[in-house]
Amino acid sequence: MRILMLNNEFPPLGGGTGSVNQALLQRLAHIVDLEIDLFTAALGRTPEREQFSERIHLYKVPVNNRDIHHSSNRELLTYAALALPAALARHRALPYDFCFAWSAVPAGGVALALRRLTGLPYLVRVSGPDIPGFEERYARLYPVLTPIIRSVWRNATLVVAKCDGEAAMVRRVDPSITPVLVPNGVDVHAFRVAAPRNNGPLRIICVARLIERKGQRHLLAALRRLRDAGVTATVEFVGTGDAAQAYRAEADRLGIANQVTFAGYVPRERIADHYAAADVFVLPSYNEGMSVATLEAMAAGLPLVVTRTSGTAELVQEGENGLTFAWGDVETLVRHLAYLAANREVVRQMGAASRRRAERMSWDAVTARYLEIFDWMLNRGVYGTGCMVEFPRDRNARRDEDDSDCGDCSGDLAGGRPDQTAASGVSAGL
């Protein structure tokens, strides 16, 4: 089986989508009857080729991104313009069985063009901001992009979403699309649970891009209110983004700069240490699909205090492993954090519950689901359906190492059965 993958971001470039792509490739590298070419973006001005594993190759087109954490509209268009002819030439030289686009824009646009030029079928995974209405900063672009995104979805053999809320957003944009749910996973072995701390400041960590959608300004406001109420707490922001300078200025204005650390970019191999130094994870985001950082915080044994967005229901059981609040509801956020600061045994119990839930969301289970989809695409896939209600659950792909840890898709794995259709209802974030 030969698969073409398209993704404009891949570590060190980009955010959660690239990290998920990398984690999946690490596990697919052991499948002996699977060859993958991933066309992604290079940081510099020259094309690059990298051998990821014996049967997986990375082709990086020279987009010359100025910011490794965020692509401009120009850079997204550049990726599409360069990836299309490069992937087309490779397909004509050594044909692929199908294409896997990691987003509707820009990767899905390339996949759609390839399908029209060559008939190559494709599946497309929803990344979040490529759903019209998902992110406020793209409000001006969505009216232009929505017809393109609908066309990408409708011409795909399959649309994949990460959670019920994300699937519901897709159906709101186009009711004819029924996404299949495949959640993100987490490698619990990469994260350690720190010994509980019974006193001292409540140490809060927020791992996210510093952009308006992630809502860090609400956490800054909450930190000031906590201080005014006599609750001692600190916040570490891990990540960079367009709002970094504005948030630094806001911390100064609120008089809490000495309680806030801006760690900036942290390499993947060091991120576990930052989680281990925290007591609680906060993500005050306007909208999420299924946050990779939230999954990591769960694996690190942290209680979650997050906004009620798409993907939250699959990760947070209210009062068991975390607490939720509405976007912009600083008062409730303050109340949750003050409660945790005063009840360290609850922090410990919620953290342990987070870890247990994370252990049921392994990358091996997620990989098994994708392998089922790949087999279905190869053996039964027809393009132009925009959905797939069900596909065979058993597969017999050969592996060059023991596969005893693969294929156990727990019922608690977010997203339910592989043949599950999108849930009704739309995230309050829309």
Domain that holds residue 88: 2-185+362-379
User: Is 197 in contact with 3 (CB distance < 8 Å)?
Assistant: no
Residue 390 domain-assigned (yes or no): no
User: Is 196 in contact with 347 (CB distance < 8 Å)?
Assistant: yes
**Residue 35 C-beta-side C-alpha neighbours within 13 Å:** 7
Q: Is 96 helix (H, G, I), strand (E, B) or coil?
A: coil
Residue 55 bridge partners (DSSP): none
Domain stop point among 359, 389, 423: 359
Residue 399 domain-assigned (yes or no): no
Residues 6 and 131 in one domain: yes
Residue 92 domain-assigned (yes or no): yes
Residue ranges of alpha helices (H) inside 13-158 are: 16-28, 73-93, 109-118, 142-154
Q: In what order do the strands lie in the sheet with 322-325?
A: 260-264, 233-238, 202-207, 280-283, 304-307, 322-325
- In this predicted structure, what is the pLDDT of residue 219? 99
Query: Phi/psi at 297 (nearest 5 deg)?
Result: -60, -40
- In this predicted structure, what is the pLDDT of residue 325? 98
The total number of residues written for the chain in this structure: 430
Residue 417 domain-assigned (yes or no): no
Residues 238 and 257 in one domain: yes
Give average pLDDT by consecutive 10-residue segment, the chain, 430 residues: 97 88 97 97 93 98 82 91 98 98 98 98 95 85 95 98 93 96 94 90 97 96 98 97 95 98 93 98 92 96 95 90 97 99 98 96 93 92 44 35 31 33 26
**Residue 351 C-beta-side C-alpha neighbours within 13 Å:** 25
Rounded to the nearest 5 degrees, what angle is found at the Cα of 190, between the Cα atoms of 186 and 196? 100
- In this predicted structure, what is the pLDDT of residue 9? 94
Residue 281 bridge partners (DSSP): 205, 304
- In this predicted structure, what is the pLDDT of residue 20? 95
Identify the CATH number of the domain in which residue 255 sits. 3.40.50.2000
Kindly give the interhelix angle for 142-154 and 164-173, rounded to the nearest 10 degrees: 100
- In this predicted structure, what is the pLDDT of residue 104? 97
Residue 389 domain-assigned (yes or no): no
- In this predicted structure, what is the pLDDT of residue 204? 99
Residues 234 and 368 in one domain: no
Residue 384 domain-assigned (yes or no): no
Ranges of beta strands (E only) in 108-240 are 122-125, 158-161, 180-181, 202-207, 233-238
> pTM higher than 0.85, yes or no?
no
Residues 211 and 322 in one domain: yes
